[in-house]
Structure 1
Amino acid sequence: MDFSFTEEQDELRKVVRSFLAKHCGDAQVRRPAADPLGHDPVVWRRMAGELGLQGLAVPEEYGGSGFGYVDLGIVFEETGRALLCSPYFATVALAAEALLRCADEAARCELLPGIASGETVATLALTEDGGRWDEPGIRLTARESARESARETAREPARDSTREPARGTAHGSARGAADGGWQLTGVKTYVLDGHLADLLLVAARTPCGVSLFAVAADAPGLVRTPLPTLDQTRGQARLEFTDTPARLLGAEGTAWPALERTLATASVLLAAEQVGGAAAALDAAVAYARIREQYGRPIGSFQGVKHKCADMLMEIESARSAAYGGLWALDADDETETAIAAAIAQAFCSEAFTKVAGDNIQVHGGIGFTWEHPAHLYLKRAKSSEALLGTPSYHRELLAARLGI
């Protein structure tokens, strides 16, 4: 099997890197991070309109470009390098992937085109107060309300059917989510970009097991509260549901296998993003070591600094191999290999990014600790990403279980 990139993939990397360099410099990262919205809508629209990044791996029949996971991984590597401040990971790696994995063709046809065009910001709400990413951690409950509604309709006069539907995004995603005959009650927290998403895909428990539901952002009974985070470039929210209307996606009680595969895919894509962030940190460290002088010579000429930079490079190359292995496993559509590769990639790349980002600050010395220097932004992203889909120890436990150890 050929594991090298094609000319088209190399060109994709150049185009995405050039775009992000223009629109995601240090100032462009800090400004959206300080904004309550959490990202720049203009950049989001240009990502969709000029490059088609939101729909890159969405099949053509749903309005996307139909590229593979290796191509998508290249994009995530570049967004990690640039510290892209946008709901791209939540929308593409989590929500779109969950829709593609769930067995609901009607939902895919209705909801994916809005995501692919950039008109819909979406996210996946899975974790709760316990912060668990496994099936037992899902405690939010869903109950069917269709029968109760039918009985009420039979007893009461017909209601006004001309009432204006709830506002939603293009392609009816919010409207369709609001009329599903189910109600959710409970809490989801640490939800990526949950405070600004138009469409929420929510994992909930029914009498038949874990199920996946679509909820409109303006659904009644839904309260969304932004959370303070270490990484200001990636927003999170707490979602409270009180008899909130929802639409069931797929068959009741069958969602966990699709969610598990979604998490494996997202883990690989996050690993690619972490590799990009670590590579940017190393580039910054090397560039500074060349120009900063001490005792009349560049600090990069001292053995301690040279060895530290060499160790950073070794961490990155090992992490890159783990992430790329996961991407090729995804494109090969080998479920067993993907599950193993995802656990390896996330366990290794999380720790590698944190180490390299910390070493970058050490190479910079005093200036690396200042608020004005971007080094701390990479360390904060690294620490946040390290726990985003489960800690490295959690993924090592997954790996042991999948290998039967």
Structure 2
Amino acid sequence: MRLIRTDEQRELADATRAFLAGTSPMARVREIAETPGVCHDPDVWRRMAGELGLTGLAVPEEYGGAGFGHGEVAVVMEELGAALTPTPYLASVVLAANVLLALDDEAAAKDLLPGIANGSVIATFAPPVPGDRMPGARAHGDGHTLEGPVPRVLHAADADLILVAATLADEVEDGSGPLAVFAVDPAAPGLTRTELTTLDLTRPQYRLEFDGTPARLVGPSDAGPALERAMDLAAVALAAEQLGGMRRCLDTIVEYAKLRVQFGRYVGSFQGVKHRLADMHCTLEQAESIVRYAAWAADEAPEELPVAAALAQSFMGRAYFQVAKDSLLLHGGIGFTWEHDAHLYYKRAKSDELLLGAPRHHRARLAERLGLVT
């Protein structure tokens, strides 16, 4: 098992970090986040796809991608998490592309994946989050129609393709049956998108309402196993993003502790501060091991991925939030101001903690996959 990045992965991280530093400084992140109706910078997205080729990293070459692994996607997600860049990368490259690949629908993959891989199509996926009831699908002519709401969908306003997990209502009336995946045109009749007021301003979310909306079935009528794999891969990518945010929080507060003077001493010399920083560093070290293992399992040991993914989200959600909270508190009064960036990481940490389900769901899934419950 290799937990150390390859030379190519380190070069990818360096290139991505330099690109984001030049195109998405925190002032630009704030500008996009605070502008109504703006979800990301289209020019940055085009350059990510064209100059760096980041949007097609894990897409096979036969579908227009680069044919690399999920470890490379984790490298990019870590840098995006550190920079807080508003981008549909998680929605399109991680969620939507992985769902299409997991469904093993050759026709749909050839039709939909090339656009995602080259960045010309922004896709999103409404994942089945524990506790949420998914919409129902009914056969209608040669296709299907969708009925019902989806509570939260990333980047639904700027998506060119929306993938939705829904139950086949013709087979199960109470909505508890197996899930299938449907492709929906954002301009389809009967689809309403409502922007949500969210804690994290850098990652817009929308509520979708389907009212007889035409949809195309992608993959089998029971997509449960495919969705499990896709959501495990999403959990790994999200964990990498959380790791990047944690590292930036710790780096920022360490630098501040070296500069801030109180009572004639640098605050970093105070025992209480030193101990808290040491705890944050230990948490970061544990987090890095967990994320590296999960990214390795995604590419090299698919039989270990279910446990690795559940472990990653069980640990990373609480860990990132704790580090972000401690970083904010250790900044003192300035950390509580709107002008300081600490609150942006604090809000992203809490949003990420709940994005794929509450931590208790991930712990329950981990216990089940370890055989600790029956």
TM-score calculated relative to the size of structure 1: 0.88
What is the rounded CA distance, in whole Å, between the counterparts of 2:190 and 2:23 in structure 1?
37
CA contact (8 A) 1:386 1:392 kept: yes
CA distance in 1, matches of 2:291, 2:192: 36
Which position in structure 1 is the counterpart of 2:306?
339
CA contact (8 A) 2:163 2:181 kept: yes
1:319 alignment partner, one of 287, 295, 303: 287
| Alignment match, 1:197 | 159
CA contact (8 A) 2:23 2:44 kept: yes
Q: Which residue of 2 aligns with 1:12?
A: 12
1:230-309 maps to which residues of 2 (within 5 A)? Answer: 230-252=199-221, 254-309=222-277
Residue 368 (structure 1) shift: 0.4
Aligned equivalent of 1:399 = 366
Mapped to 2, the partners of 1:37 and 1:118 lie a distance apart of 18
Partner of 1:133: 130
Distance 1:324 1:55 in 2: 21
Match of 1:153 in 2: none
Unaligned segments of structure 2, at least 5 residues: 172-177
Look up the match of 1:53.
54
**Which consecutive unaligned segments of at least 5 residues does structure 1 have?**
148-180
Per-residue CA shift, 1:95-141, capped at 9, x if unaligned? 010001002101101101111111111111134xxxx437xx54411
**SS of match in other structure, 1:191:** strand
User: Is the aligned partner of 1:75 residue 2:70?
Assistant: no
Q: Structure 1 residue 86 and structure 2 residue 87: aligned?
A: yes
1:133 partner letter: P
* Residues 2 and 296, structure 2, Cα contact 8 Å, conserved in 1: no
Shift of 1:241: 0.6
Amino acid at match of 2:11: E
In 2, Cα distance between the equivalents of 1:329 and 1:96?
19
Which of 331, 337, 348 is equivalent to 1:381? 348
SS in 1 for 2:39: coil
Residues 302-342 of structure 1, C-alpha deviations (whole Å, 9 max, x = no match): 1111111111111111111111111001011423x111011
- Structure 1 vs Structure 2 CA RMSD: 1.2
Q: Secondary structure at the match of 1:51?
A: coil
Identity of aligned residues (%): 53
* 1:143 counterpart = 2:138: yes
Shift of 1:258: 0.7
CA contact (8 A) 1:103 1:249 kept: no
Residues 190 and 212, structure 2, Cα contact 8 Å, conserved in 1: yes
Asked if structure 2 preserves the Cα contact closer than 8 Å seen for 1:138 and 1:203, the reply is no
Q: 2:144 aligns with which of 182, 197, 211?
A: 182
Rounded to whole Å, the distance in 1 between the matches of 2:312 and 2:179 is: 26
Deviations 1:78-97 (A, max 9, x none): 11000111111011110010
* One-letter amino acid of the structure 1 residue matched with residue 262 of structure 2: Q
**2:189 matched to which residue of 1?**
220
Q: CA deviation at 1:282?
A: 0.3
| Cα pair distance change 1:233/1:139, threshold 3 Å | closer
| 1:103-114 to 2 correspondences below 5 Å | 103-114=104-115
Write the distance in 2 (CA, Å) between the matches of 1:9 and 1:78: 12
CA distance, structure 2, for counterparts of residue 2 and residue 199 of structure 1: 36
TM-score (norm 2): 0.95
Partner of 1:178: none
Shift of 1:41: 0.8
- Deviations 1:190-224 (Å, cap 9, x if unpaired)? 11112221100011111453211000110111111
8 Å contact kept, 1:126–1:133:
no
Q: Is the 8 A contact 1:231 1:377 kept in 2?
A: yes
- Within a 5 Å distance, the mapping from 1:92-107 to structure 2 comes to 92-107=93-108
Say whether the 8 Å CA contact 1:138–1:210 is kept in structure 2.
no
Higher-Rg structure is: 1
Q: 1:353 aligns with which of 320, 337, 340?
A: 320
Kindly tell me the number of residue pairs found equivalent between the two proteins: 364
Counterpart contact for 1:347–1:391, Cα < 8 Å: no
Aligned partners of 2:125 and 2:163 also within 8 Å? yes
Within 2, Cα distance between the matches of 1:139 and 1:112? 24
